[in-house]
Copies of this chain bind each other. A is one copy, B any other.
Amino acid sequence: MSKYVIGIDVGGTTTKFGVVDKNGHILEQDRIPTNQHEVAEEFIEDLYAKVGPMIERAGGTQNIEGIGMGAPNANFYTGNIEYAPNLKWKGIIHMADLMERRFNLTTKLTNDANAAAVGEQIYGCAKEMNDFITITLGTGVGSGIVVNGRIVLGHDGFAGELGHTIIRPGGRLHKGTGMKGSLEAYASATGVRETAIELLTEHPERESLLRNYTINELTSESVYDCAMKGDSIANEIFEFTGQILGESLANFIMFSSPEAIVLFGGLTKAGPLLLNPTRKHMEANLLPIFQNKVKLLFSELKEADAAILGASALIWKLKD
């Protein structure tokens, strides 16, 4: 058995990758932008330009067991990325095949959020839990679900798209999917920005520090900065985001009754500003039998690490 695995996390904006050993140590890591090219093959070339030298420094491909890869809408059973709304490559991409051909290494693919869930299970705060859900609050909203100790893949490998569940039927349009009122339309970095624009536009009479930003500068980070300074619209944005997220989490809990829900991704930097309203609305929408017993946690892993480690675990787990 070889010493190392390459873990690759393909995010909506950034792709992170690293060389991982059996103990979950990342020897080195780097990143490239995800959506620079219309064609997946060119993305793989960018990746090869960075990962190739890493493999050489690790002693060449004979020291690498394989490549584990997490990506949006990726399918473990087929090795394909299929119709990912947040990626430029449209239709069905035979990612595992393309990677194997370029790198000459076994490649296993899964949903990026599933990979992160495996990372939490092996290295993070879901250690020794058999039933938990991870929710990534980034550019989009991803999810990985573990039931009876195993990732839920579903009959076709596509299970766990909780970001696209509808929580406000007929509500806000999600431009990537054309669906209305999905969790991701609200509880993502993009969603926070849209809520900000909506509130500022609908209430021209209300003063807000957010009015000092240009429309391009209005991001979840600037909303956070203003909320911390006591801005009432900025606080209302997180209250609303937490309400939508909390209502959705309540629904997920009544589905699989997890021991914990682990949140990670950029939005979690908002800390209690997001966590408090989320918990409040989650509890308020649960049947009594579920109340006050589901742990709502922030991941303790660095985001990049969790994704890379989780992706790498796809290979290690197959060797168990």
- Residue from B164, B168, B259 in contact with A254 in the complex, judged by beta carbons closer than 8 Å: B164
Question: What is the bound-complex CA distance between A23 and B74, given in angstroms?
Answer: 42
How far does the Cβ of A210 sit from chain B's closest Cβ, in whole Å? 26
Tell me the residues in window 129-162 of chain A with beta carbons closer than 8 Å to chain B beta carbons.
Answer: 129-131, 145, 147-148, 150, 152-162
Residues of chain B lying within 8 A (CB to CB) of residue A293? 156
Q: Does A165 sit within 8 A of B, measured CB to CB?
A: yes
Residues of chain B lying within 8 A (CB to CB) of residue A147? 147-148, 152, 154
Q: Does A179 sit within 8 A of B, measured CB to CB?
A: yes
Are the CB atoms of B285 and A179 closer together than 8 Å?
Answer: yes
Interface size class of A (residues with CB under 8 A): 35 or more
- Residue from B85, B157, B158, B166 in contact with A251 in the complex, judged by beta carbons closer than 8 Å: B166
Tell me the residues in window 158-192 of chain A with beta carbons closer than 8 Å to chain B beta carbons.
Answer: 158-162, 164-169, 177, 179
How far does the Cβ of A143 sit from chain B's closest Cβ, in whole Å? 9
Are the CB atoms of B254 and A165 closer together than 8 Å?
Answer: yes
Given contacts A147-B147, A148-B148, contact A251 B165 (CB under 8 A): yes
Are the CB atoms of B158 and A288 closer together than 8 Å?
Answer: no
Residues of chain B lying within 8 A (CB to CB) of residue A9? none
Residues of chain B lying within 8 A (CB to CB) of residue A155? 129-131, 257-259
Given contacts A131-B154, A166-B250, contact A159 B289 (CB under 8 A): no
Question: What is the bound-complex CA distance between A168 and B293, given in angstroms?
Answer: 25
Q: Nearest B residue to A83 by beta-carbon distance? A: B288
Residues of chain B lying within 8 A (CB to CB) of residue A232? none
Interface residues of A (CB under 8 A from B): 73, 82-83, 85, 129-131, 145, 147-148, 150, 152-162, 164-169, 177, 179, 247, 250-252, 254-259, 285, 287-290, 293
A-B residue pairs in contact (CB < 8 Å), sample of 9: A145-B256, A152-B256, A155-B259, A157-B257, A158-B290, A161-B290, A164-B254, A166-B250, A168-B169
Additional pairs, 14, CB under 8 Å, beyond known A155-B259, A255-B255: A83-B287, A83-B288, A129-B155, A130-B155, A147-B147, A147-B148, A147-B152, A148-B150, A152-B257, A155-B257, A156-B257, A158-B257, A161-B290, A165-B251
